[in-house]
Amino acid sequence: MGAGQGALPAGAHARRYYARPDIAYLPISDAPALEWVLVWPTDRHTARVRA
């Protein structure tokens, strides 16, 4: 549950996919857009990940 003790920037999708009644999502209109990339630990590269 939300503890009421902090703030964390999150992408706009968070409101849709992680909606919770105890958390308020507020838009930050003057921030640059977030860019997302796939991250994978280097010690767990498999052939499928490398492909």
Which has more pLDDT, 27 or 42? 27
- Identify the sign of the CA torsion 40, 19, 34, 31: negative
pLDDT band at 43 (very low <50, low <70, confident <90, very high): confident
Cα–Cα separations (whole angstroms), residue 39 to 15, 24, 44: 22, 27, 11
Residue 29: its pLDDT value, please? 86
Taking 60 as the threshold, does the pLDDT of residue 1 lie above it?
no
Structure pTM?
0.50
